[in-house]
Amino acid sequence: MGGRDVSAAGPEIPLHEEIDIRLRADASSRGPVLFAFGTALIWLLLGTVFGMIASLKLHWPDWLVHQGWLTFGRQRTAHLNTMIYGWASLAMVGTSLWVIPRLVHRELRWPRLATAGIAVWNVGLLVGFLLILGGRNDGLEWLEMDRYLADPLLVIGGGMVGITLLATLAAREVGHLYVSVWYVFGAFVWFPVIFIVGNWPTLRGVESGAANWFYAHNALGLWLTAVSLGAIYYFIPKVLGRPIYSYQLSLLGFWGLAFFYALNGMHHLIGGPLPTWMITTSIAASVLMVIPVLAVAVNHHMTMIGRFSALRYSPTLRFIVLGAISYTAVSLQGIFTSLREVNRITHFTHWTVAHSHVGVYAFVTFALFGSMYYIMPRMVRREWPSEGLIRWHFWLVLSGISMYVIALTLVGVWQGLALIDPMVPFQRSVEVTLPGLWARSFSGLLLTAGHLVFIWHYLKILRGPAPARKIPPLHEARPVLYTGDGEGGSS
Amino acid sequence: MLPSSLAVLVTGAILGGLALGAFAWAWRRGHFDDIERQAHALFDERDYRLERPWESPAEQEERRRLYGEPLAPEPGEWGGAT
């Protein structure tokens, strides 16, 4: 445990002032955070329903085929977009708006602008979502929403949120920027750049394909991953009351991501009509990612080691730690998959679907669930009403995603081996996936149930049957003062 | 005819340039100085003093010695109803 001499950045602050700073920061972000979380959960519900329907259609191909908007192509696309831009992005926006004011010791600047930005983002997403269901999309993976009607609203809305965060950072009262601040601001700078390039309307053919996968991979690595890692770096030490094992490693992880990640996406196009050097560069960049990934993994593990019993007490930590483990898993799996000899088997199979769900669900969504469990009681000043509902939520989604990933990874390998064997008829490569597809739908039911439990619990905490949370303790307990000599005491 | 790599290369260069610029700014502003102190930037005094039920008696004693008498956690302190 670190000594007192390093317990605060900047001048020593009397305890009651620290609490005041925290209270003011929380109060300033309350409106936009609750709005972001609330709308994120609506999209989570919608995305879950569409994902479930799309999954069932894979083994009931004749189900719901008479109306265009119910066909697989639109349902699956609607699922992906609502989950990425609705659930994950909005929950990340809420988490960022809550954590940044706390870390820079300032109230959120222009919270109404942030709220308006979230509203604009939601309108853009709704427009894109309805157009997808109506059969109009841009035909690019992860970029299906209409680039003229929907995407500009996402850029404007995200920009409005980014401006409030930037203004808050500019007005900061701290000298040091904690690593979570780096991750969050990295994400808010990277995302508009990659989103605009991915949607650039003059790109055609192969160039469009390259920009598409440049975007899609970076949307995971430089947007979803960045904010989620920022949250993990905040909540693990915060709950444990101990600093991260090695702050140097945390910076290595961040700067490694910043410098190495951007060119990774081309490995999705192995075998495609792109210059070989581009693919090889991308594979090399992917392998280099092992450095920041291991830096993060070692750091999280060494922080938790000997303290895993804390998981029994902290639902937040339970979700966050599993999210952190999944980050390591999905990153190492991604590096492995980027190798040509592996990719020739796994490409175009359910392996890739499983891999993306380890990333977006087991890593990102778990980190966001954990964050929301911590943030919400501090926003509404009430405790979560039911320990049982949290437990149900946790075990339902954990068992659901575990079954999902294991089943699709296995059948992905069988499918890939069947696909590359010229002696095996194509039909066989489809048949071998059926057990995995059934398992996928069953695990989808578990995930759906888990989401319903969480949304129900969220509504309960908003309505407030649980005991109200007190003002954070010690608010009036004046004073416990830093003396700067390693000794503290109350008077 | 533009090469198929152009969009990705230009954007990759922009992102690399942004990272390099941010790194240089952080270096000049001293964000890589006093690294260990930065690791504590997310805590306030209360975080150190909370009694954590999963900690061993030795760890709790160390916490008491460094930060004073422990504070009882609020219900749901650790993020959830416990």
pLDDT in tens, B64-79: 999 888 988 887 888 8
**Distance from the A262 Cα atom to the nearest Cα atom in chain B, whole angstroms:** 6
Is the CB of residue A78 less than 8 Å from the CB of residue A132?
yes
pLDDT single digits (tens) A158-175: 999 999 999 999 999 888
∠ CA A312-A318-A324, nearest 5°, is: 145
Would you list the domain boundaries of chain B? Answer: 1-34, 43-76
Identity of the residue in B45, B48, B81 whose CB atom sits nearest the CB atom of A384: B81
Average pLDDT over residues A89-111: 96
Cβ burial, residue A419 (10 Å; 0-12/13-18/19+): buried
Which contiguous run of DSSP H or E holds residue B72? none
Is A111's pLDDT higher than 80?
yes
Is A296's pLDDT higher than 90?
yes
Q: Looking at beta carbons, which residues of chain A come within 8 Å of B76?
A: 377, 383-384, 469
Residues A180, A341: Cα–Cα separation, whole Å: 36
pLDDT single digits (tens) A53-86: 999 999 999 999 999 999 999 999 999 999 999 9
Give residue A244's pLDDT. Answer: 94
Interface residue of B20, B48, B77, B78 to substitute, partner A, most A CBs within 10 Å: B78
Is A475's pLDDT higher than 70?
no
Is A25's pLDDT higher than 50?
yes
Q: What is the DSSP letter of B3?
A: -
Residues A69, A428: Cα–Cα separation, whole Å: 30
A&B contacts, CB < 8 Å: 215
Q: Looking at beta carbons, which residues of chain B come within 8 Å of A266?
A: 8
Give residue A476's pLDDT. Answer: 43
Is B9's pLDDT higher than 70?
yes
Residue A20 banded pLDDT, cuts 50, 70, 90: confident
Q: Looking at beta carbons, which residues of chain B come within 8 Å of A17?
A: none
**Distance from the B15 Cα atom to the nearest Cα atom in chain A, whole angstroms:** 7
Q: Is A205 left (phi over 0), alpha (psi -120 to 50) or beta?
A: left
Is the CB of residue B15 less than 8 Å from the CB of residue A193?
yes
CB atoms A482 and B74 under 8 Å: no
Question: By mean pLDDT, which of A284-288, A358-362, B3-7, B29-33 is the weakest?
Answer: B3-7
Give the relative orientation of helices A15-59 and A89-104 as an angle to the nearest 10 degrees. 170
CB atoms B46 and A466 under 8 Å: no
Q: Looking at beta carbons, which residues of chain A come within 8 Å of B36?
A: 2, 6, 243, 247
Here the ipTM equals: 0.91
Q: Looking at beta carbons, which residues of chain A come within 8 Å of B21?
A: none
∠ CA A441-A445-A449, nearest 5°, is: 165
Identity of the residue in B22, B69, B78 whose CB atom sits nearest the CB atom of A313: B78
CB atoms B81 and A316 under 8 Å: no
Residues A443, A394: Cα–Cα separation, whole Å: 14
Is A411's pLDDT higher than 50?
yes
B68 contact A CB<8A:
yes
Choose among A196, A242, A261, A104: nearest CA to B50. A242
CB atoms B68 and A203 under 8 Å: no
Is A334's pLDDT higher than 50?
yes
Q: Looking at beta carbons, which residues of chain B come within 8 Å of A211?
A: 7-8, 11
Interface residue of B20, B31, B43 to substitute, partner A, most A CBs within 10 Å: B43
- For the entire predicted model, the pTM comes to 0.91
Choose among A178, A167, A49, A33: nearest CA to A92. A33
Q: Which residue of B has its CA nearest to A467?
A: B75
Average pLDDT over residues A182-187: 96
Give residue A117's pLDDT. Answer: 98
Residues A71, A401: Cα–Cα separation, whole Å: 24
What is the β-pairing status of strands A488-490 and A480-482?
antiparallel
Identity of the residue in B26, B40, B82 whose CB atom sits nearest the CB atom of A2: B40
Report percent pLDDT > 70 for chain A. 91
Is A483's pLDDT higher than 50?
no
